[in-house]
Amino acid sequence: MDERYFYEPSKGHGLAHDPLSAIIGPRPIGWIGSRNAQGQRNLAPYSFFNCFNYRPPIIGFASIGWKDSVANIAATKVFTWNLATKSLAAQMNQSSVALANDEDEFDFAGLTAKPASIVAADYVAESPVNFECKLSQLIQLQGADGDKIDSWLVLGEVVAVHIDKQLLSPEGEFLTTKAAPILRAGGPTSFYGISENDRFDLSRPLPPNK
């Protein structure tokens, strides 16, 4: 009996839920603030998000479909990222509602929009960490066969960072667990938190002597 479940994604997974997003998880949340060319605010969470480079710092998120966030960033070349925390989980979820273009997700979710210091976008004042970003690349994804698909990767250089000072230790270390970030998992309603009980440390090994 084969102990491994095997499938080819192009032919379907045959399960109740696609396992991909559960396997690649839990994932940090791209809570993205933007404005359109007319200055209308937008706020939306994306579960395909991560950091890709140190210097310059580059973060990115992927949107399945040309959604308002992508259209806004394509037009204005800037956006913000906001740390989604346990205390802001309900508001983060509210901001995922599909509203009309002239409606404001900040207001709908009961959040305070604060104008960024450098870029022409707004960040979530209640969030303890905010990045101001300038668009570096906007890439339409494609399959191995070269065919374009209706998904877009937005990469941005972080040009300004706001951190609640309570989340910095006296030694200057960011206290990740104190921030209580929430992470997206695979199920339709699944999120996770983190705690010090889950922590373990590994030092990078030295190369063997030659």
Residues 140-159: tens digit of each pLDDT: 999 999 999 999 999 999 99
Q: Which amino acid, residue 97?
A: V
Q: How far apart are the first and last CA of the chain?
A: 45
For residues 3-17, give the mean pLDDT.
93
Residues 93-117 have pLDDT tens digits of 999 999 988 899 999 999 999 999 9
* pLDDT of 35 over the 70 cut: yes
Q: Find, among 136, 149, 30, 140, the residue nearest to 73 by Cα.
A: 136
Distances in whole angstroms, Cα of residue 21 to Cα of each of 46, 70, 137: 12, 21, 24
Q: Find, among 82, 58, 81, 83, the residue nearest to 138 by Cα.
A: 58
For residues 35-63, give the mean pLDDT.
97
pLDDT value for 21: 87
* pLDDT of 39 over the 80 cut: yes
DSSP codes, 27-40 = EE-EEEEEE-TT--
Domains of the chain are 16-191 (2.30.110.10)
Q: What is the mean pLDDT of the chain?
A: 95
pLDDT value for 130: 98
> Could you tell me the pTM of the whole model?
0.94
